[in-house]
Structures are given as structure tokens and as C-alpha cells.
Chain A
């Protein structure tokens, strides 16, 4: 066996790692982003072929069949509706975690039976981290996907019980102790049982961590699970002594970490608060205390007139727009307003929707140019000049209580200053308080008018009145 082949394989991994870095680099700008995808595909193909070319890989059917089978669900999962992208993402985190966990388990048992010398302390530690993160991500992401898909048997509201944090802490300590025992003696007779116990705890840990987290916190949770899936790949890199795995996993891990930091900042909450403090618990009682206030609702005809006379309209989309699939009707409204010479901007809050960047993708799907999508920090100074602010299915991200009311659970969260616009129209499905169960003072302001109904229907009517009215003015 000439030693040239292992060197070529390592060089191929080097190329793969470089391609992944380029891929993420090009992702920085919408103009070059698609090139980033091609670089990623190239890097991944090189990595797969190089691994397949390894001399010890001989059972080709065992590789060809799973790869061939994966194309079906893979292609199917890539064609989901864009409103379902959050659950698709969670599901693929689950797959990633499962893969990492299984490879770790397989390697451990293989080495235990055939090459116990390979089970050094460091490698056992790496395997334990890989298996723990992998299986935890697996069940955690499945629950997250279920919550996002709004499956009936998974509660949307945070699911909590007394002593929850204590149970989690005990489970974590148990894993630490068992891990230490395994590292001390990885080949003992009881070691396989300890290993299986770690897997069982990891599987349970995942769902226990995600069940108490409510739908409004999903953007953060998805980002954290993204980081876990990446770190599991890093651990696998340490297990297999493979630097490409470490580079790719580290890129993924840092992406998840940065996204979760952004999400936490956008909600003015800490990691520990998201993971261990269930949201929407304290808020329900403050509702009852507040006296019933009156909404001022208005017809879509009058709202359309108001909109057509505006110079600057700022649209604030939220999860309600996604649920109602209203993005295409929103595009019609955008076109109708543009035609009347109205400047239209979309104000995007970082946590609007159910995953980072969710609103941007939906509006891009409706072919609204991304140059009209404005981030929260950029739009807020312009809000006093805004003639009409139209809120489509957003709630907490425009709630002025975040600025003013110290007792509000969302106090301190940066918001889009919809209340500073000259007039506000809010489209809302029902008169109930929003997802987090927090009353929104914005709806009771003198300048606010409510448009009750399904977001898609209401926006569609607005667009219809606007383009019908264009002949008369």
C-alpha cells in the first residue's frame, strides 16, 4: 500500500474545510450567497468521496443503499412550505444529533470488543460528549419540531412541574458521575451498561429541556440546538481524529452560538433564563388585574383610504402573517401602495416568527425586494415620520410595555416603536391577548385602529380596496 493515498485523503479534507469556510463567507451577502451553497456542496462531495476512498472502507453496498434511500426524504424535506421551515430545521437538527449519537455508540462498542487500546481517557471523554450532545439534540429537536408543527399531543404552552430544575440537575449529575466512572475504566465489565445508561439519560434530557419552553422562545431554542448539533460533530472529530469534522462542526457550533446570542439579546433575556425559566407564567395573572379596555375597530375600506393618503407606510410582520400564509397578499398590498407613490418599508424584529430570519424568507418568497426589509435598529429612528404603521400578526415585538412597564414580563426587550407612528393599524385574529398572554397597550392607543380577522383575508381586502380605488383618485 503506497502511503500516497492517506495523504491525498487528508489533502481532500483540507480542501473540504476550506470550501466550508468559503461557503459561510459568501453567505454574508445576498448577492454571493448562492455561490456559498455551491461551495458547500463541493466541500461535502469532496469529503464524502475522500472518505469512501479510504482503504478500510470496503462494504460499498452498505454505503450506496443508505445514500440512495436518503434522497427521497431529503428532496421531500427541501420542498416544504416556507412557513414550515422552522420545523424542518428542527427536524434536521434531530437527524444530525441522531447521526452523531449513533456513530459515537457504534465506535465505542466496536473498540470495546475489538480494540480496547483505542479507548484512551481522552477518547472516551470525546465519545461521551458526542453521544450526550447527539442524543440530547435528537429528542430535544424532535419535541421542538413537534411544537412548531403544533402537534396536538405536544403542549404549546410551557410544560412545567414542581422541582423540574432539580430533576434536570440530578440527571446531569448522574451523567457526570457515570462519565467519570467510564473514563476511569472504559473496558470494565459494567462499562457497556454505564454507556447505555448515559444514552438513556441523554435521550430523556433532550425532551426534558425543550418541553418547558414556549413557542415564543423557539427562535432561541432552535439556535441553541443548532450549536449542539455542531458541537456533537466536533466531538466526533476528536473521537475519529478527523480535523475536517472539527472544522465543520466548529463552524456550525459558532453559527448556532452567535444566532442564539442575537436572539437572546433581542428578547433581553439570558441563556439560563430561556432554558430554565418558563415564559408566560407570571403574565397570566396581570391580565385579570387590568380592567377591560375598549378596542377601536375600523373597516378595511377606511383603512385603505388612510393607507393610500400616507407617504410612508411601515409594515410590521409577525408570526400571525406566517400562520395565515398572508405573505403573498402582503405583496399585493405592497404593489398597490407603491403604485400610488407610497413608500413602503417592512420593519423586521429579530425574533419575529419562529426562527431567526423567518420573516425575511417569507417576504422574499412573495418577491418583495430585500432592500425594503429594514432591521429594527434602522427603522426605529424613522418611526415618528411614519404616517401609518400596519401591524400584521405581530404582538410582543411592538408592545410598548417593553419600554415602560417594569412589571411586564417582556420589560427591557427591544421593540419596534410602532406606537410612535402617526397612526397604527393592527390586524389581529381575535380579541384574545397574544401568544405570551400579555396585554398590548398599543391596541388601546387613540391613534390605533384594529382590523379583526384572518391576516390573509384582511390584507387581501386592503389590497383590493386600494387597487379598486386607484381609478377614482
Chain B
């Protein structure tokens, strides 16, 4: 078995399917480029986020980093995997999906609360208090 893998002969119906054949050294350099550029974009974009929103920012990036879900789906649902590996994938899928659901929901819940001026509901509240106070004054 190790022989067949160390020398991949073109005539050999190799165990490695052709879909994976492109993963050469050059590809990794491309991926490193993507990583570098994405990091710079990340720095630029995140630096502009107001300090006001750092907590929601953190829960949003939490949800986004649950992109590990992609790997989890491949492992949990891939056709060739033995059960015990599939179980790891399923647990990973559960964990990242929990992060996706809770991360996006709580971010939205927090952002809904940020208001630049008192909204109608609280305005109504204050006007009620104001009426009360005015009554007291009179």
C-alpha cells in the first residue's frame, strides 16, 4: 500500500482520485496569498468598527468563524468515511451550527437595542413621567 502511494504512476489506477491531484505546492502559495489579502482586509474593516459595537462585533465574528461548518459537513456527510470519523464530523457540525444560530441571533438582538435617540416606546414612558411631574408642579 505505501508503495502505490509514494510513486503515483500515471498508468496505475491510483487510490488518490484525480479531483485531489491539483493540491500541489503552487496551490498552497495561492492559498497563502488569499490568507494574506484577507487578513489585510480584515484589519482595515475591523479597525473602522466603532468601540460602541465591540461586543456585537465579537458575537458576529463568532458566527462567521463557525464557517468550520464547511469542513464538518464534508466529514459528517462524505460518502467514504467510516462511522467513528463521521461521528466526529457530526459533533463538529453540531458545535459550529450552534455557534451560527446563537451568534447571528444574539448579534441581531443586541444591535436592535442600539438607538441614537430615545425611541417611541421610551419617549412615551418619559412623557408619562413628565406629565406626572407637571401634575406635581401644578
Chain A residues proximal to chain B, CB less than 8 Å:
17, 20-21, 23-25, 27-31, 33-34, 36-37, 40-41, 43-44, 47-48, 51-52, 54, 56-60, 62-63, 65-67, 69-71, 73-80, 82, 85, 88-89, 92-93, 95-96, 98-100, 102-103, 105-107, 109-110, 113-118, 120, 122-123, 187, 222-223, 226, 229-230, 232-234, 236-259, 262, 335-336, 338-339, 348, 350, 355-358, 360-361, 364-365, 367, 369-371, 373, 375, 467, 470-471
Contact = CB atoms under 8 A, between A and B. Distances in A.
13 contacts: A27-B49, A44-B69, A62-B86, A67-B97, A106-B88, A115-B5, A226-B62, A238-B31, A239-B71, A240-B70, A245-B71, A355-B54, A355-B55
A192 B96 CA distance: 26
A115 B16 CA distance: 6
A103 B49 contact: no
A280 B70 CA distance: 42
B70 A245 contact: yes
A30 B114 contact: yes
A54 to B, nearest CB: 7
B70 A110 contact: no
Those 4 A-B pairs whose CB atoms lie nearest each other, nearest first: A74-B101, A357-B54, A254-B42, A471-B136
A470 B136 CA distance: 8
Nearest to B5: A117
B82 to A, nearest CB: 8
Interface in B78-109: 78-82, 85-86, 88-109
A231 to B, nearest CB: 9
Q: Which of B47, B57, B68, B112 has the most CB of A within 10 A?
A: B68
B74 A56 contact: yes
Interface in B15-51: 15-16, 20, 23, 25, 27-28, 31, 34-35, 38-39, 41-43, 45-51
Contacts of B48: 25, 28
B110 A82 contact: yes
Contacts of B122: 367
A40 B64 contact: yes
Contact of B46 (A69, A113, A255, A365): A255
Interface in B106-135: 106-119, 121-122, 125-126, 129-130, 133
Given A118-B16, A251-B38, A252-B61, A44 B67 contact: yes
A357 B39 contact: no
Nearest to A35: B111
